[in-house]
Structure 1
């Protein structure tokens, strides 16, 4: 039961950014407390929710590792490690050519964000209503996130007079709760 709830949440959280997320792999890994996914491909609409005029042309995540301490879930932190992120982004071009598939992806991303915002508001109003929601809330409140080796490359050959490309490399980003 617990594993299924977490698998559903992981699929919801990662599935909107990653192409062909393997739910079977999630279920097997979650049962042991460890989940490891490798060589994930980012969806073109992965950055749409940021409301930036860019889209992912190519993107990969080398490895996502999640360690869930089932035996001490209420006291311990859940560790999420994301390694080797590469993103190649281009500007979204609003020319005369209409790309129906791109328009559908953008609309889906905006709808997902609106639903997520509504869902977040309902949790603040009523709090978690079931054991699985309480469990997920506890995991998210005690989360330690480590992201390492990030490379973002932006290329623009359309909106500038001269072709432009720039990159951003980030060695390590860590986020963790401060109330423990």
Structure 2
């Protein structure tokens, strides 16, 4: 029960800006097999706003998201993230309004992210120097766990359908699309 709430929290935290009407009851968790499954998810129409692209999602759908964590063989088998049935219809943004306040806020947040990265790098460098001077320091279990999960991460996207529909010029509408069977990232 606690694990289900924790998984729902992290999925909502990382994917909440992109998934429409996320409900923790949609989540299927099989603790012993290490599977977390989310099915039949609609993407928000404003999901691309954070990426600052001149496109908007008219329709977005994901049939299945599966995260497989091999608890029994964590250090030898890969952790897998599988997306199956990814359908996306995008159109150009025609009502682009320049918002000065939003632009200033984005610039400020970007600068703050850079400052945080520099501060984090400095902290890590200081920690590395301390650990170099003190060779008896050991990594914590969670640091090693995170390292092995990220080192052995595999991402697989199956059944990808992406379409672009441009009707800004009424006399010459333009449509194109791409269909991919799968993409694997190791």
| Common topology (TM > 0.5) | yes
**Contact (CA 8 Å) 1:78, 1:144: kept in 2 or not?**
yes
**Contact (CA 8 Å) 2:43, 2:59: kept in 1 or not?**
yes
Q: Distance in 1 between matches of 2:8 and 2:148?
A: 15
Which residue is 1:171 aligned to?
Answer: 181
Shift in CA distance, 120/143, structure 1 to aligned 2, threshold 3 Å? farther
Which residue is 2:134 aligned to?
Answer: none
Shift in CA distance, 37/122, structure 1 to aligned 2, threshold 3 Å? farther
Q: How far 1:159 sits from its partner (Å)?
A: 5.2
Aligned residues: 170
SS at match of 1:29: strand
Q: How far 1:25 sits from its partner (Å)?
A: 5.1
Which residue is 1:94 aligned to?
Answer: 95
**Contact (CA 8 Å) 1:45, 1:109: kept in 2 or not?**
no
Matches within 5 A, 1:19-168: 19-23=20-24, 26=27, 29=29, 31-32=31-32, 33-94=34-95, 126=124, 135-158=145-168, 162-168=172-178
**Contact (CA 8 Å) 1:84, 1:149: kept in 2 or not?**
yes
Unaligned runs of 5+ in 2: 126-138
Q: Distance in 1 between matches of 2:105 and 2:85?
A: 27
| Rg comparison, structure with higher value | 2
Deviations, residues 3-40 of structure 1 (Å, cap 9, x unaligned): 766554333222221112233554x6163411111110
SS at match of 1:46: coil
**Contact (CA 8 Å) 1:36, 1:66: kept in 2 or not?**
yes
**Contact (CA 8 Å) 2:59, 2:88: kept in 1 or not?**
yes
Q: How far 1:55 sits from its partner (Å)?
A: 0.7
Which residue is 1:11 aligned to?
Answer: 12
Q: What's the Cα RMSD here?
A: 4.1
**Contact (CA 8 Å) 2:39, 2:62: kept in 1 or not?**
yes
Q: Distance in 2 between matches of 1:121 and 1:7?
A: 31
